[in-house]
Amino acid sequence: MKPILTLLFGILLTSTLYGKVPEAKLKISHLTGDFYVFTTYRMLDGNPFPANGMYVITNDGAIMIDSPWDTTQFQPLQDSIESKHNVKVIMCVATHSHNDRTAGLEFYRHQGIKTYTSLQTDSISREKNEKLAEFHFENDTTFTIGQYSFQTVFAGGGHTSDNIVIWFAHEKILYGGCLIKSTDSPVLGNLADAKVRAWASTIKTIQTKCEKPNYIIPGHQGWKNKKSLEHTLKLVEDFKSKNMSK
């Protein structure tokens, strides 16, 4: 037994020294109470880059907000939630039309999970041949699932023209998706579909509608700093001053 353990330790040590230990494909972090953040990764510029989603355990089942970016993690995430909490995933809401949010909609729909996007997201997803949800909402909508209620909030364009946030008013948890930039991010990121001129106004509207959140979950990178709304505003203003005429 000792030679085997020694060999395994040697392999692990060598891999660590040479930087060959692979990144976790799926990370689940406890946020608070029945709320959890899940993170999956895609390679960007040769490095794994994280994308965040969230799930909530209710008395009626689990609510998933956005789907994994790594398509190989659709089933592992569902399995992890259902085995860890002994509940079924019953709902998935995507917050905008990019595939780091919508890629799992078709998969989860085929699993019998109710999938939702805004009508605006559905329209854009159809144009871009992204995955589609089964159900849609046109205006800001409040859902009550089990003991929890949350509201979808469209405050205007920013990262995309259709980006929404999810607001758990009682718990003061704001799921911002890619509209809100992590304080770890030095730049606004993917601007292919951005509405930069509207972005600051959109963030200010969210600050009014979703007052004093206890937690803010951005679409990418770290989420423990509660200053991400202010950070996003600064990034937008800096970008506009450097790249856009007034």
CATH number of the domain that residue 49 is part of:
3.60.15.10
Answer yes or no: is 125 within a domain: yes
Q: What is the mean pLDDT of residues 194-198?
A: 98
Q: What token pair was written down for 118?
A: 């805004």
Would strands 135-137 and 142-145 be described as parallel, antiparallel, or unpaired?
Answer: unpaired
pLDDT for position 244: 83
Answer yes or no: is 13 within a domain: no
Q: What is the mean pLDDT of residues 90-119?
A: 98
Answer yes or no: is 17 within a domain: no
Q: What is the mean pLDDT of residues 154-160?
A: 98
Answer yes or no: is 1 within a domain: no
pLDDT for position 245: 64
Q: What is the mean pLDDT of residues 136-165?
A: 98
Answer yes or no: is 209 within a domain: yes
pLDDT in tens, 34-47: 999 999 999 988 89
Whole-angstrom CA distances from 181 to 79, 107, 159, 190, 220 are 29, 27, 9, 11, 7
CB 217 within 8 Å of CB 223: yes
Domain count of the chain? 1
Answer yes or no: is 71 within a domain: yes
pLDDT for position 24: 73
Q: Among residues of the chain, what percentage have pLDDT more than 90?
A: 88
pLDDT for position 159: 98
pLDDT for position 44: 87
Answer yes or no: is 2 within a domain: no
**Is residue 28 over pLDDT 70?**
yes
* CA nearest to 231, candidates 211, 216, 245, 209: 216
Q: Where in the sequence is the domain holding 167, given as residue range(s)?
A: 23-241
Q: Among residues of the chain, what percentage have pLDDT more than 70?
A: 90
Answer yes or no: is 16 within a domain: no
